[in-house]
Amino acid sequence: MELIKIYQGNVISARDLYEFCESKERFSKWFIRMLSYGFTEGKDYTPYQKVHPQNKQALEDYYLTLSCAKEISMLQRSDKGKQARQYFIKAEETLSKLKANKRFEYWDKLQEVRGELLNYLLEKGHTQENFMQIDYEGRKVLFNGEPLPDEVLPNILLTARSFAVEISNEILKKSDETDLDKITNLHKDNHHEIREVLQQKTGKLPENHHPEQDIKKLDK
């Protein structure tokens, strides 16, 4: 059961943890107090903005590494904090097992290039929600319809996805594009080209591949 959403396989939202732990402090005051325990920007946490689901206002948030999230959970000295800490310990154990699995190498590469695309968008003043929508549009094109989740893609499709996203990253670095529609169309075009390459080289379209076991549930 996913108590707190884990993004890109290894980071969480500070606000998600704050809300789960049911702190009585304001988020900004709570997070500043957590930072006083010696966490380092760029190593333990990374600032970003997210959009409030109701009023659509931009909110300051922070990506926390699992290790940082585990320590902050322990600092809560509450049943909720203890529950969160145990959850992150299990998540770290799962990641450790996955790293011993060959398929995880392909998954890890995809998460790396997706993270680069996310960071590019955040630097241009866009949001995580923008990133999720842009990447979803690319995935839809790759599958010519509703896509399979990345977690169940076979190795060849994990590789195809990584290549498409990496092409987007390289083009965006050179063009310094900021327009969301243009970025979305670029990402869709790259997935379309990779779709055609797969068909030409393998004789098989992405939607004709069978899903594999959810990579997050794999053991050694």
Mean pLDDT of the chain: 91
Is residue 151 a part of any domain in this protein? yes
Same domain? For 185 and 196 the reply is yes
Is residue 118 a part of any domain in this protein? yes
Q: What is the mean pLDDT of residues 210-217?
A: 83
Structural domain for 88, as ranges = 11-99
Same domain? For 57 and 140 the reply is no
Q: Please state the pTM of the whole predicted model.
A: 0.58
Same domain? For 117 and 19 the reply is no
Is residue 35 a part of any domain in this protein? yes
Residue 64's contacts (CB-CB under 8 Å, 6 or more residues apart) are 11, 12, 13, 14, 17, 44, 45, 72
pLDDT of residue 8: 72
What does the pLDDT look like over 117-137, one tens digit per residue? 999 999 999 999 999 999 999
Same domain? For 213 and 111 the reply is yes
Is residue 5 a part of any domain in this protein? no
In this structure, what token pair is assigned to residue 80?
Answer: 């909720």
Is residue 4 a part of any domain in this protein? no
Most confidently predicted of 88-92, 100-104, 120-124, 214-218 = 120-124
Same domain? For 93 and 106 the reply is no
Top pLDDT among 146 and 56 is at 146
At residue 51, does pLDDT exceed 80?
no
β 58-65/45-51 pair status: antiparallel
Give the total number of structural domains in the chain: 2
Q: What is the mean pLDDT of residues 30-45?
A: 94
pLDDT of residue 109: 92
Is residue 6 a part of any domain in this protein? no
Top pLDDT among 96 and 203 is at 203
